């Protein structure tokens, strides 16, 4: 049976979307690789994620059953970022109006284990919602298309100017 340990960090002052960008880099990877990715990623979110990952590793090692497991054999099984409390502020705007500023926060959860996640999510394209197969559309010639498709007629050169008639007397 797989052994797991988790660490939760709450109230991180960054957007959950920014944190998810960093978490997508380490999801399903081995712990040493994930630590090096987080260490060299230049985001504020990666600093917080690295601290939380190190806490999850320490929590895994605290259990007496897991004392013999090497850290290099651990995997990042799950990592998620959920929205936290939102601070609402007012920003003065032109013409006496006010804009609302929402300062977002998030809650970070990282789970490490000694076995990789069995059902790793695969990035696949969305299938079309219709039940019928896709059919290529053929465009018919409209006036605009017909003008472009028809070869241009050549215009005959202008007729030479008639010379003045001179009468001989």
User: What's the rounded mean pLDDT across residues 150-169?
Assistant: 60
* pLDDT given for residue 65 in this prediction: 84
Stronger pLDDT, 62 or 145, i.e. the higher one: 62
Nearest Cα neighbor of 9 from 70, 50, 65, 64 is 50
Q: Is the pLDDT of residue 157 over 70?
A: no
Q: What burial letters (b/e) apply to 25-35, b meaning 16+ CB within 10 Å?
A: ebbebbbeebb
Report how far residue 139's alpha carbon sits from residue 118's, in angstroms, rounded to the nearest whole number.
48
Q: Which two tokens stand for residue 21?
A: 């960008």
Region 60-65 average pLDDT = 88
> Mind listing the domains of the chain with CATH numbers?
4-113 (3.90.470.10)
| pLDDT recorded at residue 148 | 60
Percent residues over pLDDT 90 in the chain: 58
Instruction: Give bridge partners of residue 8 from the DSSP assignment.
Output: 109
CA dihedral 2, 31, 38, 40 (to 10 degrees): -170
Q: What is the pLDDT of residues 97-140, one digit of tens each?
A: 999 999 999 999 999 998 887 765 555 555 555 566 556 666 66
The token pair at 103 is: 């300062």
pLDDT level of residue 156 (50, 70, 90 thresholds): low
pLDDT number for residue 154: 63
pLDDT at 88: 96
Above 60 in pLDDT, residue 94?
yes
Q: Is pLDDT larger for residue 80 or for residue 125?
A: 80
CA–CA distances in Å: residue 86 to residues 18, 39, 105, 141: 15, 28, 6, 56
Tokens of 126: 């969305």
Residue of 169 and 27 predicted with greater confidence: 27
What are the pLDDT digits (tens) for 12-57?
Answer: 999 999 999 999 999 999 999 999 999 999 999 999 999 999 999 9
64-73: per-residue pLDDT in tens? 888 888 889 8
What is the pLDDT at residue 20?
Answer: 95
């Amino acid at each position: 049976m797989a052994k797991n340990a988790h660490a939760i960090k709450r109230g991180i002052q960054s957007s959950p979307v920014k944190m998810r960008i960093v978490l997508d880099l380490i999801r399903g990877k081995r712990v040493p690789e994930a630590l090096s990715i987080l260490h060299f990623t230049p985001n504020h979110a990666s600093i917080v994620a690295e601290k939380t990952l190190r806490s999850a590793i320490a929590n895994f090692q605290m259990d007496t059953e897991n004392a013999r497991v090497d850290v290099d054999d651990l995997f990042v099984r799950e990592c998620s970022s959920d929205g936290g409390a939102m601070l609402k502020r007012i920003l003065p705007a032109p013409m006496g109006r006010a804009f609302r500023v929402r300062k977002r926060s998030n809650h970070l959860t990282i789970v490490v284990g000694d076995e990789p996640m069995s059902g790793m999510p695969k990035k696949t394209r969305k299938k079309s919602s219709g039940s019928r197969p896709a059919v290529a559309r053929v465009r018919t010639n409209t006036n605009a298309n017909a003008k472009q498709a028809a070869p241009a007629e050549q215009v005959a050169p202008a007729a030479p100017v008639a010379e003045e008639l001179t009468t001989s007397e």
